[in-house]
A and B are shown apart, each in its own frame.
With several copies, the nearest count.
Chain A
Amino acid sequence: MAFDPTVRIQQDDFDIKSEIEALTAGQGNTGAVVTFSGLCRDEDGTLSALELEHYPGMAESEIRRIAVEAADRWPLGGVTVIHRVGKIRPGENIVLVAATSKHRQAAFDGAHFIMDFLKSDAPFWKREIARDGRSGSWVDAKDRDNDALKRWR
């Protein structure tokens, strides 16, 4: 691997434009940038906010491990992953995965792979805070998130 992935866990929002600029600055060989942004949905207007909890230390190291594995599988130029924690309102960003490469195929696959494994391996948990003021319920893990891993085997 020719680079060190940028991994941040933070309460604040991120700026996708400046993250792309940081990834591509001075990288004359970069022809493709793929970004995935995960947003908080409003669940048909019923959701007031998500509360995001994580395992400090392990969350960063798992994301870094996944990014390094992606860089072993595809010729990536750089990777940035930012995951927000704390209270996140509908419409706000939750997570950013950005991957660069010389060509588009590697950038698409790398970003998609990182996102799929982040879902299943990175220790974050979401709680839904409903608009009717009831204390929230923890989001259940989805079968489709495990199914999504099959494409990479």
Chain B
Amino acid sequence: MVKMVYFAWVRERIGKSEEVIDLPPSVETVADLLSHLSRLGDNYALALDEPDVIRVAIDQEHRQHDASIGHAREIALFPPMTGG
């Protein structure tokens, strides 16, 4: 059980800002998570169409796609940031 949060166009394409999902044991890394999610429906597939672009934070810290998910409580997916 992990809380997923989505921002900007990732949020819009998936169609929700957050949800709690169950991850199968085969999902070990961020990359595993992205490919798992993209098989959950067309909305996810569209949002994660270009996985390299997707930025990931685990428990509110930036993580690379090869990072282990470990005991994450909150995982955020979002596009490259455009603040400032």
Give bound CA distance, A82 to B80, whole Å. Answer: 20
**B window 2-20: CB within 8 A of A:** 5, 7-9
Per-residue CB contact flags for chain A residues 60-78 toward chain B (1 = under 8 Å, else 0) read 0110000000000000000
Q: What mask results when residues 26 to 58 of chain B are scored 1 for a CB within 8 Å of chain A, else 0?
A: 000000000000000000000000000000010
Chain A, interface SS category: mixed
Q: How many B residues touch the partner, as a band?
A: 10 to 19
Tell me the minimal C-beta distance from A122 to chain B in angstroms. 5
- Whole-angstrom CA separation of A94 from B57 in the bound complex: 24
Interface size on A, residues (CB 8 A): 29
**Contact with B82, one of A62, A104, A126 (Cβ below 8 angstroms):** A126
Query: Known contacts A58-B60, A123-B7: does B78 contact A141 (CB below 8 Å)?
Result: no
Q: Mark A84-106, 1 if CB is under 8 A from B, else 0.
A: 00000000001100000000100
- B81 near A120 (CB under 8 angstroms)? yes
Shortest beta-carbon distance, B10 to chain A, in Å? 9
Q: Is the CB of B81 within 8 A of A124?
A: yes
**B79 near A138 (CB under 8 angstroms)?**
yes
A55-B5, A123-B57, A138-B82 given; name 4 further pairs at CB < 8 Å.
Answer: A55-B78, A61-B60, A123-B76, A141-B82
Q: Which residue numbers of A lie inside 8 Å of B, CB to CB?
A: 38, 52-55, 57-59, 61-62, 83, 94-95, 104, 115, 118-127, 138-141
A59 to B9, CA, bound (A): 18
**Which residues of B sit under 8 angstroms from A52, Cβ to Cβ?**
83
Q: Which chain B positions have C-beta within 8 A of A95?
A: 83-84
Cα–Cα distance between A52 and B60 once the two chains are bound (Å): 19
Known: A55-B7, A58-B76. A122 touches B60 (CB 8 A): no
The residue of chain A having its C-beta at the shortest distance from the C-beta of B5 within the complex is: A55
Q: Cβ of A140 and Cβ of B82 under 8 Å apart?
A: yes
A152 to chain B, nearest CB (A): 15
